Amino acid sequence: MVFGRSERRRAAAVEPVTLKILVAGGFGAGKTTLVGAVSEIKPLRTEEMLTEAGRPVDSLDGVESKRTTTVAMDFGRISLREDLVLYLFGTPGQDRFWFLWDELAQGALGAVVLADTRRLHDCFAAVDYFERRGIPFTVAVNCFEGADRYPAETVREALDLDSGTPVVLCDARDRDSAKEVLISVVEHAMRISAGQRQPAAT
């Protein structure tokens, strides 16, 4: 009987909370790399080879070695704790695929905006998208080899971010670094949610 009760306790374990996080940013910022680095499952990727036909619309300035691009989404999963699982949806970076963003954003707790200091202007649109829709986000500066390094506050000023928006430096190739970015997003979204639940002062 003792053994039976123990088995029932394990069977009655609480189901993990699942949260949806978007990974956004400009073309070539490292979205697919980050999702792949941190996912505990084989990530789903919808990449296609870049072709000559795309050169007029896909600027490779600063990312000349890039050979593929995401045309729908990337998908991965990571367990931050036994009771907390994140589903990651990487968005396509080019303007012509932005019609997918509204679908991907539905039900998202928060987002990562990956920034590349070589092409910082490429993440302006993603920042604006999440600000206008009230989706909490963290700006993660992907520190590419050979790119100039700037303090987080310098990036904040350049992007004209609200003082409460987290800005972190990361290496999208490194699992631990990418995981810290995701933790930042979750914590930021939870703080905002808690603030919204607090009754207004009388």
Question: pLDDT tens digit string along 99-144?
Answer: 678 888 999 999 999 999 999 999 999 999 999 999 999 999 999 9
Domain 14-197 fold: Rossmann fold (3.40.50)
* More reliable by pLDDT, 55 or 187: 187
Statement: residue 58 has pLDDT above 80: no
List the domain boundaries for the chain. Answer: 14-197
* Strand intervals (E) in the chain: 17-25, 44-49, 68-81, 84-90, 110-115, 137-142, 167-170
The average pLDDT across 84-94 equals: 87
The average pLDDT across 174-200 equals: 91
**Which pLDDT tens digit goes with each residue over 16-26?**
999 999 999 98
Q: What pLDDT is stored for residue 95 in this prediction?
A: 58
CA Rg value for the chain: 19
Statement: residue 14 has pLDDT above 50: yes
How wide is the angle at C-alpha 30 spanned by C-alphas 50 and 105, nearest 5°?
Answer: 95
Burial 4-40 (b: 16+ CB within 10 A, else e): eeeeeeeeeeeeeeebbbbbbbbbbbbbbbbbbbbbe
Q: Are 46 and 73 in contact (CB under 8 A)?
A: yes
pTM, to two decimals: 0.78
Q: What pLDDT is stored for residue 96 in this prediction?
A: 55
